[in-house]
Structure 1
Amino acid sequence: MNYDIFNGDADGIITLLQLRLADPIDSELVTGVKRNIQLVQSINPAQGDKLTILDISMEKNIEGVNKALEQGASVFYADHHRSGDIPEHENLDAHIDLDANTCTALIVDKLLAGKYHAWAITAAYGDNLIAKADQLASQAGYSDEQAAQLKELGTLINYNGYGAAVTDLHFAPAALYRSLLAYPSPFDLIKDLDSPFYKLQKAYQEDMDKALAIPAKHQSALLSVFELPNESWSRRISGVYGNLLANQSANSAHAVLTQNSDASYLISLRAPLNNKQGAGDICSSFATGGGRAAAAGINALPFDQLVNFIEQVEGHYTL
């Protein structure tokens, strides 16, 4: 049995897309909304099974990884999130890079010698590595118009991954991945007027217009906080809205709060683009938080802990 286990955002989907365009296999797809990162524990692998695990923290999945290795499965693991201690095992092939200016698709792009480089650049744009993606697009010889197309596509695929449940999304991540397999190049996708690109483009603009109409809840030189209501559109737009805000004010951190139904907030935190560190550590200090240096989140922050969260963020970036 082959298992492809991957984050449901742009980086996770496109990383798997590169691998399976290069090496098509039949596999069971294990994924979900972007925040659903503890995926490995959901399967029960046996001896001889092969697990491909992409763009989810090893630290959050170490129990499932160790179990798989103990059962005699082999594991290929590529990621750029907090890893914790990486096991040493002959059946584990780990490619972990915690550099704030890389993503999982770029890690796999190197392993594939750039065979699907345009897709990797698309993923980098989707993961808000704008300067890095611009650099790669220029080095690849793409025009400004082509780079803008890859940036929009990456943003739209990433936008589709945000939600409390798959029912919030326009496409289930596994279904979106399968549809993208028909396109060896992202430019082929954009040329196809019946592709998911155009549905996501329309939906994204509708959701973003609603978010842009809401004023800041808290604003200082160090941090801007925006609160969105308990609505599906809020959950869909929260992450890419945070990326947009981060790119508008590169010296400030940004947090987008989305109300949950249990007196808590879903939080997307972006470190200042000019100081891309600390977001993962800050969010991991809360019970349901995690992420990476530049971008992180908390699944359920009680309303009464918001002041503490703001103080921690501002305290961190005054250091």
Structure 2
Amino acid sequence: MNYDIFNGDADGIIALLQLRLANPIESELVTGVKRDIQLLENVPAKSGDRLTVLDISMEKNRDVLLRALEVGAIVYYADHHRCGDIPKHENLQDHIDLDANTCTALIIDKVLGGQFHLWAITAAFGDNLIAKADKLAEQAGLSKSQAEQLNELGTMINYNGYGSKTQDLHFHPAELYLALLKYPNPFDVIADVDSPFYQLQSAYTQDMDNALAIESCHRSATLSVFELPDRAWARRVSGVYGNYLANQKPDSAHGVLTDNNDGTYTVSLRAPLNNKQGAGDICSQFDTGGGRAAAAGINALAKADLNRFIKAVEDFYA
């Protein structure tokens, strides 16, 4: 049995997209909302199964990974999040790169020798690696207009991954992946008026307008924090809104809180774009927190711990 296990954001979807455009296989798709990262728990791995795991933290899935390897599953693992100690096992092929200026789709791009390089650039834009993606686009000979198109497409795919449950999303990530698999070139998605791009574009505009109307609840030279309500639109837009804020003020960290209506917040934290470090370490200090150096989150931050979170961010970047 083949399992393709991938994060439901732009990076996870496009990492798998490149692999399956290069090497089509029949597989069981295992994915979810962006914050659903302990996806290996959903795989009943047995001897001889092949697991392709993309864009989810090895550290967060380590115990299940070890069990899968012990029963004889063969695992291909590519990621750029916190990994902990990488197991040494003959059945594990790992491509882990924790550089703050890479993403899983760019790792796969290297493995494939750039076969679907335009898709990798699209993923880099979606993962908010704007400077890196702009440079890659220029090196690929794309015009500024073409780079902007890939930026918007990557942003739309990433936007679709945010929510507390898949019902919040416009497309289930597996459905969106399958829809995009028809297009070897990302410009073909934009050229097709019936592609998911246009539905996401319209919805994104509405959700962002709602977010931009909200004032910050904390602001300093180091950190700005915005609180969004317990609404589906807020859960959908939280991550891309955090990316938008980071790009507006690259010397500041940004936190986006979404009210979970249970005494907790879902938190998206963006490190300053000019100092892309620490976000994962900060969020990992809190239960249900984790991520990478440039962008991280906490699934359920108790409201009573908000001041402690703000202090941790302020102290780190001061």
Structure 1 length normalisation: TM-score?
0.99
* In the alignment, structure 1 residue 128 sits paired with structure 2 residue 128: yes
Deviation at 1:236, TM superposition (A): 0.2
* In the alignment, structure 1 residue 249 sits paired with structure 2 residue 249: yes
**Residue 120 of structure 2 aligns to which amino acid in structure 1?**
A
Q: Where does residue 221 of structure 2 map in the other structure? A: 221
**Residue 209 of structure 1 aligns to which amino acid in structure 2?**
D
The Cα offsets for residues 176-207 of structure 1, whole Å up to 9 and x where unpaired, read as: 00000100000001000000000000000000
**Residue 86 of structure 2 aligns to which amino acid in structure 1?**
I
Counterpart-to-counterpart distance in 1, 2:128 and 2:176: 20
In structure 2, list runs of 5 or more residues that go unmatched.
none
Q: Give the alignment of 1:1-319 within 5 angstroms.
A: 1-318=1-318
Deviation at 1:44, TM superposition (A): 1.2
Secondary structure of the 1:94 match is: strand
Counterpart-to-counterpart distance in 1, 2:261 and 2:44: 32
Counterpart-to-counterpart distance in 2, 1:213 and 1:69: 49
The Cα offsets for residues 160-181 of structure 1, whole Å up to 9 and x where unpaired, read as: 0000000000000000000001
Secondary structure of the 1:214 match is: coil
**Residue 203 of structure 2 aligns to which amino acid in structure 1?**
A
The Cα offsets for residues 139-160 of structure 1, whole Å up to 9 and x where unpaired, read as: 0000011000000000000000
Counterpart-to-counterpart distance in 1, 2:182 and 2:254: 36
The Cα offsets for residues 114-159 of structure 1, whole Å up to 9 and x where unpaired, read as: 0000000000000000000000000000001100000000000000
Percent of residue pairs bearing the same amino acid type? 70
The Cα offsets for residues 244-263 of structure 1, whole Å up to 9 and x where unpaired, read as: 00000010000000000211
The answer to whether the Cα contact below 8 Å between 1:162 and 1:237 also exists between their aligned partners in 2 is: yes
The answer to whether the Cα contact below 8 Å between 1:163 and 1:232 also exists between their aligned partners in 2 is: yes
Counterpart-to-counterpart distance in 1, 2:295 and 2:200: 23
The Cα offsets for residues 64-92 of structure 1, whole Å up to 9 and x where unpaired, read as: 11011001010000000000000000110
Counterpart-to-counterpart distance in 1, 2:65 and 2:75: 8
The answer to whether the Cα contact below 8 Å between 1:100 and 1:294 also exists between their aligned partners in 2 is: yes
**Residue 53 of structure 1 aligns to which amino acid in structure 2?**
V
Counterpart-to-counterpart distance in 1, 2:277 and 2:123: 20
The answer to whether the Cα contact below 8 Å between 1:41 and 1:63 also exists between their aligned partners in 2 is: no
Secondary structure of the 1:267 match is: strand
The answer to whether the Cα contact below 8 Å between 1:2 and 1:28 also exists between their aligned partners in 2 is: yes
The Cα offsets for residues 28-77 of structure 1, whole Å up to 9 and x where unpaired, read as: 00000000000001111111100000000000001111011001010000
**Residue 148 of structure 2 aligns to which amino acid in structure 1?**
A
Counterpart-to-counterpart distance in 2, 1:162 and 1:126: 12
Counterpart-to-counterpart distance in 1, 2:110 and 2:79: 13
Counterpart-to-counterpart distance in 2, 1:93 and 1:21: 20
- List 4+ stretches of structure 1 deviating above 4 A: none
Deviation at 1:17, TM superposition (A): 0.2
**Residue 100 of structure 1 aligns to which amino acid in structure 2?**
A
Counterpart-to-counterpart distance in 2, 1:287 and 1:105: 28
Secondary structure of the 2:68 match is: helix
Counterpart-to-counterpart distance in 1, 2:74 and 2:285: 32
Secondary structure of the 1:298 match is: strand
Q: Please give the root-mean-square deviation of Cα atoms over the aligned residues, in Å.
A: 0.4
The answer to whether the Cα contact below 8 Å between 1:50 and 1:75 also exists between their aligned partners in 2 is: yes
Secondary structure of the 2:170 match is: coil
In structure 1, list runs of 5 or more residues that go unmatched.
none
**Residue 39 of structure 1 aligns to which amino acid in structure 2?**
L
Q: How many residue pairs are counted as aligned between the two chains?
A: 318
Counterpart-to-counterpart distance in 1, 2:290 and 2:126: 19
